[in-house]
Amino acid sequence: MSFDFSGDPFASGFWTPTRFEADLHDCEVEGEIPEGIDGTFYRAAIDRRYPPRHPLDIPYNADGAIDMFRIRGRRCDFRTRYVRTPRYVAERKARRALFGAYRNRSTNDLAADDLSMNTANTTPIVFGGNLLALKESSPPMRMDPHTLETFEEYDFGGRMTAESFTAHPKIDPQTGEMLAFSYEARGDLSDDLAIHFFKPDGTLERTVWVKAPVVSMMHDWAITEEHVVLPTTGMVTSRERLEAGQNHWAYDPSVPAYVGIMPRDGEAKDMRWFRGPPDRAMMVHTTNARTVGDKVILDAPCARGNFNPQFPNLDGGSFDFDARKNTIRRWTFDLVSSSDTWEEEILFEGVTPTSFTRMDDRFLTRDFRWSFNLLHDPGFAFENSRTRVPMQDNWNAWYRFDHHGGGIDRFSAGPTHELFEAQFVPRSASAPEGDGWLVGVANDYAELTSELVIADAHHLADGPVARVKLPFRLHMQVHGWWVPSDVLPFEFGRDYDYRGQDYGPAVRIP
């Protein structure tokens, strides 16, 4: 039976699914990759193998793929692989889509009734020697960080009983521990949260179970040296929605904002829930948090309303594009106050970045100065006459925000380029905060190709110092992850395609 993607409004033009895997040895480089960049940049992407089965399906329900840029000695190699989730394997065998609306099992084909719905399409992280491809509604998919071979859906050696796992675990740079959480942790619609504590070797050491004040999307969180910080959102669900065949989430503008704070060495009884107005209930991603005396301080982008038109408003109202805009906010929680509210300060007044905030992760949990984000900047003109993709509100800029002094620096990859979330790479392990480079993918809509761009984080206005140019377009990224080679050493014995390993003497073929 033939098929095409013409009925999918999210799969056309540049974003038509690529449906391919590739290895590209010794990529073309324009400019010069800095010598100090030595490691691997991973990115999780969404790329459908088959047209969606359900008319209400959305891009976040597409198959996950992992892209890998390995950089050493000023050269770069590229590889991309689909994550072999149970869902991917079943649909490949059936040669058609088996899964329906986003996170709604009742809309699946009967052939997929008992299968995991894991797409593994949100965040790649490396921890304990494994590459984990993450989707917050499912356990991690464990992969080989060198070859991108998929091993298994991973429960950490049987230690994790939660049915889900966040797409945003946090690795404490001081201790090497990983902290993570699960929401709807005992299955769809459950109000159970599980907070996980991992040893540096990847062993799940402890899980604390707590109840959430509302069943909502909880995409990201924050940790300090002493506390965990868990914000809820106004994205809610219900049995009625799922039984009606709708996707999992809808936005309820009446739901309060809750933020749970618990000591890292605490138990469920130590969780304290603060409550704020609904216009604070859309913190999708966090930048960083720290504990200062009896206060916890959190910096993060936050929108006033529904952040994504792919999720409908529960009241049936039209999407408010102004309310989706983020402002960078500083929330201060007084742990000894009897009040359940918190103080809010708007940083960088009038600037509306995306929620894709990044920082120098060596300063996670502590006071920090710099963050990096994506924006649409009308000051960087588009050259639509040269592009083959309409460009109007595209993310055409990386910004560096100074959380101490209030300054802003800007980067453009070019007048025909759109950018994705950047990762920060320190100049050295001991370099001052923010001294290093930003790496991330840009799409060139004139050439219909993608490239890895590298910028000096202290000199963003100078533009790219290097471009790793691919001869094809890449799929849509969600999040990325940078791993230096001292954390993940190159293991050439496991994959000889990567530069640094001699191929040996030439062999004459008779």
Asked if pLDDT for residue 500 goes beyond 80, the answer is: no
Asked if pLDDT for residue 385 goes beyond 90, the answer is: no
Q: φ and ψ at 89, to 5 degrees?
A: -65, -45
227 is in an annotated binding site: no
Separation CA 315–CA 313 (nearest Å):
5
The residues, ordered by sequence, that sit 6+ positions from 449 with a Cβ below 8 Å of its Cβ are: 443, 469, 470, 471, 472, 473
Instruction: State the total domains in the chain.
Output: 1
Query: Tens digits of per-residue pLDDT, 276-294?
Result: 999 999 999 999 999 999 9
404 is in an annotated binding site: no
Positive or negative torsion for Cα 333, 335, 336, 338: positive
Stretch 353-373: mean pLDDT: 99
pTM: 0.95
285 is in an annotated binding site: yes
Averaged pLDDT of the chain:
94
222 forms beta bridges with 229
In a domain, residue 503? The reply is no
Asked if pLDDT for residue 502 goes beyond 60, the answer is: no
In a domain, residue 319? The reply is yes
C-alpha angle with apex 36: 359 to 490, nearest 5 degrees?
Answer: 95
450 pLDDT band, cuts 50/70/90, is very high
- Predicted confidence at residue 497, as pLDDT, reads 58
Asked if pLDDT for residue 358 goes beyond 90, the answer is: yes
**Which of these ranges, 160-174, 217-231, 425-439, 494-508, has the smallest mean pLDDT?**
494-508
Stretch 424-451: mean pLDDT: 98
Asked if pLDDT for residue 297 goes beyond 60, the answer is: yes
Asked if 5 contacts 51 with a C-beta cutoff of 8 angstroms, the reply is yes
CB atoms within 10 A of CB 97: 22
More confident of the two residues 507 and 42: 42
503 pLDDT band, cuts 50/70/90, is very low
In a domain, residue 220? The reply is yes
Asked if pLDDT for residue 11 goes beyond 90, the answer is: no
Asked if 307 contacts 234 with a C-beta cutoff of 8 angstroms, the reply is no
496 pLDDT band, cuts 50/70/90, is low
248 is in an annotated binding site: no
Asked if pLDDT for residue 74 goes beyond 90, the answer is: yes
- Predicted confidence at residue 138, as pLDDT, reads 98
Which CATH number covers residue 435? Answer: 2.120.10.30
- The 3-state secondary structure of 99-127 reads CCCCCCHHHCCHHHCCCCCCCCCCEEEEE
- Predicted confidence at residue 277, as pLDDT, reads 97
In a domain, residue 2? The reply is no
In a domain, residue 260? The reply is yes
Stretch 134-154: mean pLDDT: 98
- Predicted confidence at residue 384, as pLDDT, reads 82
In a domain, residue 3? The reply is no
CB atoms within 10 A of CB 95: 10
- Predicted confidence at residue 1, as pLDDT, reads 60
In a domain, residue 8? The reply is no
Asked if pLDDT for residue 111 goes beyond 90, the answer is: yes
In a domain, residue 509? The reply is no
Domain of 356 in residue numbering reads as: 13-493
